[in-house]
Amino acid sequence: MEQYIEGLRQILDTGVDREGRNAVTRALFGMQMRFNMEDGFPAVTTKKLAFRSVKAELLGFLRGYDHIDQFQKLGTQIWNANAEAWGRDGYLGRIYGVQWRRWKTENGTIDQLGDVIKQIQTNPYSRRHVVSAWNAGELDEMALEPCHVLYQFFVADGKLSMQTYLRSCDMFLGVPFNIASYSLLLHMVAQVTGLTPSEFVLTLGDAHIYREHFEAVQTQLKRIPYPLSRLELNPQIKSIDAFKMQHIQLVDYQHHGTIHAPMIV
């Protein structure tokens, strides 16, 4: 996770302060991080990662959930603040998982992720293994416009890699969560397609630290990272829709203590 730590330091040292929609941030535009799964699972160690929430949110996306009650039943309240700010009694609208699994067309819906998994199995070297959450015609129907807007898979030598584009990057709270979530998705898709998870590439657009998080980031930068953990999936699961919370385990996860900071909605 050294890349992530260096990214924090670079933004604090050289970023530009700007007042945006919801707060003042210090930001840089255009960064990239690469994580080789052979090195271990990239769960941040300089603070505690809420991995149960990572699992729960991702499973909610895979099931196309659109209400906070559904996410809460899986064990996460991560969408509560956005739902409250949107003010529709817990309804979240056509957010990430809805777009991944039920993209609307005139003739019905498209299961983007399901179709891409089939493509990886039948035409692995296609350059069209793409899933998008950025549906410009439905942005006003979402509690939060997608921050991680698109991801693409790449197959080579029996290995599966993935790249995600993140347009808006809350470096302290959001990005460690995003790294873990998409690395988990990479492992899951690799397992159901019979491939080995290889590299996760995260491309960052507006990479920023909120002013309210400066002190927390400084605390994190003083800590020495631990070795990376490893991920274990139940090997009997062969369908992306069959995964449950108990099928996903983070093993040997060493971490420093939690650093509290407010979520800026």
What is the CATH classification number for the domain harbouring 16?
3.30.572.10
CA distances from 135 to 59, 96, 140 (A): 21, 10, 10
Residues 151-158 have a mean pLDDT of 98
Mean predicted lDDT score pLDDT of the chain: 96
Overall average pLDDT of the 128-153 stretch: 97
Nearest 5°: the CA angle 92, 94, 100 is 125
Residue 50 · residue 262 · CB < 8 Å = no
Report the distance separating Cα 132 and Cα 100, nearest Å.
7
Exposure of 48 by Cβ count < 10 A (0-12 exposed, 13-18 middle, 19+ buried)?
Answer: middle
| Relative orientation angle of helices 214-221 and 2-14, to the nearest 10 degrees | 130
Task: Classify residue 260: in a domain, yes or no.
Answer: no
Identify the pLDDT of residue 260: 84
Confidence class of residue 1 from pLDDT cuts 50, 70 and 90?
A: confident
Classify residue 221: in a domain, yes or no.
Answer: yes
Mean pLDDT of 72-85: 94
Quote the pTM value: 0.96
Whether 133 has a pLDDT exceeding 70, the answer reads yes
pLDDT above 70: residue 265: no
228 in any annotated domain: yes
Number of domains in the chain: 1
For residue 158, CA distances in Å to 131, 155, 220, 265 come to 21, 7, 37, 41
Is the Cα torsion angle 213, 215, 216, 222 positive or negative in sign?
positive
pLDDT (mean) for 31-59: 97
Q: Are 202 and 178 in contact (CB under 8 A)?
A: yes
Task: List Cβ neighbours of 126 (8 Å cut-off, separation of 6 or more).
Answer: 119
What's the average model confidence in pLDDT over 182-186?
98
Whether residue 230 lies inside any domain: the answer is yes
High-pLDDT (> 90) share of the chain, %? 95
**Annotation marks residue 147 as catalytic:** yes
* Tokens read off for 155: 């197959």
Q: Determine, yes or no, domain membership for 263.
A: no
Handedness of CA 61, 64, 68, 69 (dihedral sign): negative
| Residue 263: band (very low, low, confident or very high) from pLDDT cuts 50, 70, 90 | confident
Does 10 score more than 90 pLDDT? yes
Pairing of strands 248-251, 230-233: antiparallel
Of 74, 83, 147, 175, the active-site residue reads 147
- Stretch 248-257: mean pLDDT: 97
Q: Is residue 9 part of a domain?
A: yes
User: Rounded mean pLDDT of 123-133?
Assistant: 98
Residue 262 in this model has a pLDDT that exceeds 80: no
Check: CB of residue 19 under 8 Å from CB of residue 210: no
Check: CB of residue 209 under 8 Å from CB of residue 262: no
Q: Which of 94, 105, 189, 71 is nearest to 146 (CA)?
A: 94
Q: Does residue 265 lie in a domain region?
A: no
Cβ neighbours of residue 252 closer than 8 Å, sequence gap 6 or more: 227, 229, 230
The parent domain of residue 201 ranges over: 2-251
- Give dist(CA 167, CA 174) in Å, integer: 12
Q: Is the pLDDT of residue 264 over 70?
A: no
Residue 259 placed within a domain:
no
